[in-house]
Amino acid sequence: MAAPESPRTDSSPWNWLLLAPIVVPLLTPLFNHDEPRLAGFPLFYWLQFAFILLGVGTTTLVYRMTRKRSRP
């Protein structure tokens, strides 16, 4: 099953979104605090857990928006 030649590029403006989950989790002043706590978790911990969701959300979005149309 020879798929049609895909357009020879990976570039898309959506890719810029990937910068967010790379940069945000590295900004320690953003999350290096104890308060406010969430369910007993200091901010330092629950916010970094939340960054995982940011990472999943962004990469999923970029993946969906840049998928080649030839592949259903």
Partner 1 sequence: MNDHVTEIVIFTVLFLLVSAIGFVAARWRAPKDMAHLDEWGLGGRSFGGWITWFLVGGDLYTAYTFVAVPALIFGAGAAGFFAVPYTVVIYPMFFLILIRLWSVSHRHGFVTPADFVRTRYDSPTLALLIAITGIVATMPYIALQLVGIEAVLKTMGVTGDSALARHLPIIIAFAILAAYTYQSGLRAPALIAFVKDTLIYIVIIVAVLYLPYKLGGWGAIFEAADKKFQASPAPGDGIILNANNQVQYFTLALGSALALFLYPHSITGVLASRNRDVIKRNMSALPAYSFLLGLIALLGYMAIAAGVKPLPGAKAGSVDSNTVVPLLFDAKFPAWFAGVAFAAIGIGALVPAAIMSIAAANLFTRNIYKEYLKRDATPAQEAGVAKITSLVVKIGAVGFIVFLDPQFSIDLQLIGGVIILQTGPSVVIGLYTRWLHRIALIAGWAAGMALALWMLWQIPNAATGRRHFGGSAFPLSEFGLDSQKTIYVGFVAVLANLVVAALVTLLLRVMRTPPGADGTTPGDYFADEGDPRVEREKSTPIDTVSST
Tell me which residues touch partner 1 (CB under 8 A).
1-3, 5-6, 8-10, 15, 18-22, 25-29, 32-34, 37, 39-42, 44-45, 48-49, 51-52, 54-56, 58-60, 62-63, 66-67, 71
Give me the least distance between CB of 70 and partner 1, in Å please. 9
Q: With H, G, I as helix, E, B as strand and everything else as coil, classify residue 67.
A: coil
Residue 8 or 13: the one with the smaller Cβ distance to partner 1 is 8
Give a three-class secondary structure readout of 26-46. HCHHHHCCCCCCECCECHHHH
Tokens of 35: 């308060």
Which pair of tokens denotes residue 67?
Answer: 């998928």
Q: How far is the CB of 61 from partner 1 (least distance, A)?
A: 8
